Amino acid sequence: MKLRVILSLVCAVAVLRAEDKPVSFYNDVVPIFKRSCNGCHHPGKLKGQLDLTTYEALVKGGKHGVSFKAGDPKNSLLIEEITGEEPSMPKEGDPLTKDEVALIERWIVQGAKDDTPASAKSLKLSEPPTYVVPPVISALAFSPDGKILAVSGYHEVLLLEADGTNLLARLLGESPRIESLTYSADGRFLGVAGSAPARFGEIQIWNTASNTLEKAYKVSTDSIYGISFSPSADRVAIGCADKTVRIIAVADGKELLKFDSHSDWVFGTLWTVDGKRLLTGSRDQAMKLIDASNGQFIDDINKLIEPILCIARHPKEDIVAYGGELGISRTYKISDNQGRTAANNDVNLRKTFERLPGPVHAIAYNKDGSLLAIGGAGPEVRVFNSGEAKRVAALKGHSGAIFAVAFHTQTNLLVTGGFDGTLRIYEASKGELVCSFVPVPLKVGPPIQQAAAN
């Protein structure tokens, strides 16, 4: 009997100690919001005008008033919304558990303090980074007039003259990783898909006339990829690691469309020539055609064969080329796939290209669509006649995987970048190396071996 009493007292003390322990907003409450709430309450999608991605936004509240009253959970709207037999929130997914609700209540009782570290509130650097080794190059893009080459860096995009002879500007942003780059068709904007993995995905819109950041929108709580402008440059589309596709208004960051029919990460988006439909490519093996006006799913345009890692559209026609995880690249007509029937025919397939020795990470058409460049895990980029799928040239000299390729918009010069951090410019149809260079300024320092020893 005494043993039972002692055990009961020990358990009671343990419970009291747990209840007295300070609740951390950053470590305890934020993970709950990320998992169950931020999908509908983030800057790109403010249901009820409520943003739950930062403490400051939570304090501000939404259209129904402030979210909480410090020290008074019973009169806090946040608690009212997540409690009851049928909680109002979250609208989608399972209700919060009793323990999660109790944790948020305790946080409010304890004063609802913000303990978010300064490093988590903003990752933006005060000045451009200093490089002692070349960073991996993950994205490249030529301006429509062919005068400027945009190159990914760490927390920045570097703008070079097209031949690499001069560094023109360094566009510093908050995202440490630059996942993809694209110019609007009229050249007014440079679009950046940036990420801090597992923290946020960010769209940056840069004004190319002044090289200033026009807009920056955090649209996801994880990485984003494959940014593309609509033909009129009023919208951008992105693929996300949370398996969604989103269309965002350039002017105000409003989420115009959220498509969630993929079952894995979405690495690419592109618009049809008329801008009425959007095509997406995903690790789930599908390229999905979507009505860009209302988000209606039209069809998978391809037979599901391998995870799709990158896509590129023909510059003049509704034809898409994809690069796959198995090392194969294919081109497809961008159209519904009603003719596949029960036999699952690949009716939109145009051409299949020779296999590369590893996954394909980069693919691009030249200015008129006659050439297709493909690069991946192997240290070689192959150039093909896109209509006949015949190899024209093999571009050698790389040290490691290739993650980005881009044709000059006025010539058949091709620039490549990847693991070794070096840009190489080739005469694509001839396979000749024109020049190679590191796009970032490097700080000369002691040998790496010496630094490690110290």
- Asked if residue 112 lies in contact with residue 103, where contact means CB atoms within 8 angstroms, the answer is no
Q: Is pLDDT at 450 greater than 50 in this prediction? A: no
Whole-number Å distance between alpha carbons of 419 and 48: 44
Distance, in Å, from the CA atom of 384 to the CA atom of 429, rounded to the nearest integer, reads: 9
CA distances from 212 to 164, 170, 216, 249, 385 (A): 21, 10, 11, 19, 39
Q: Which of 308, 300, 314, 313 is nearest to 328 (CA)?
A: 308
Instruction: Say which residue, 165 or 6, is predicted with more confidence.
Output: 165
DSSP readout, 68-86?
Answer: --TT-GGG-HHHHHH-SSS
pTM here is: 0.81
Report the pLDDT value the prediction gives residue 390, as an integer from 0 to 100. Answer: 97
DSSP one-letter string for 118-130: HHHH----SSPPP
Say if residue 13 is exposed, middle or buried (CB neighbours under 10 Å; 0-12, 13-18, 19+). exposed
pLDDT at 57: 82
pLDDT in tens, 63-75: 888 888 888 888 8
For residue 238, give the H/E element and its range.
strand 235-240
State the CB neighbour count (10 A cutoff) for residue 339. 10
Task: Report pLDDT for 343.
Answer: 64
- Rounded CA separation 207/191 (Å): 9
pLDDT band at 47 (very low <50, low <70, confident <90, very high): confident
Report helix, strand or coil for 197.
Answer: coil
What Å distances lie between residue 168 and 67, 132, 162, 298, CA to CA? Answer: 46, 20, 10, 43
Q: Examine the pLDDT at 128 and tell me if it is beyond 60.
A: yes
Instruction: Tell me the mean pLDDT in the region 314-332.
Output: 98
Strand locations in 266-380, DSSP E? 266-271, 277-282, 287-291, 297-300, 308-313, 319-324, 329-333, 349-353, 360-365, 371-376
* pLDDT single digits (tens) 136-156: 999 999 999 999 999 999 999
Find the mean pLDDT for residues 334-352: 82
Residue 15 pLDDT exceeds 70: no
223/95: higher pLDDT? 223
- pLDDT over 90, % of the chain: 67
| Region 23-29 average pLDDT | 90
Asked if 301 and 336 touch (Cβ cutoff 8 Å), the reply is yes
Which 8-state DSSP code applies to residue 320?
A: E
Mean pLDDT, residues 26-46 taken together: 82
Q: How far is CA 443 from the centre of its chain?
A: 30
Rounded Cα–Cα distance for residues 109 and 95 (Å): 21
> Quick one: tokens of 381?
């980029």
Give the tens place of pLDDT for each residue, 250-260: 999 999 999 99
Mean pLDDT of 348-372: 97
Q: If you average pLDDT over every residue of the chain, what do you get?
A: 90
Residue 387 CB contacts under 8 Å (≥ 6 apart), including other chains: 351, 370
Residues 6 or more apart whose Cβ sits within 8 Å of residue 419: 136, 399, 400, 401, 402, 403
Domains in the chain with CATH codes: 2-112 (no CATH), 140-442 (2.130.10.10)
Given a cut of 90, whether residue 449 has pLDDT beyond it is no
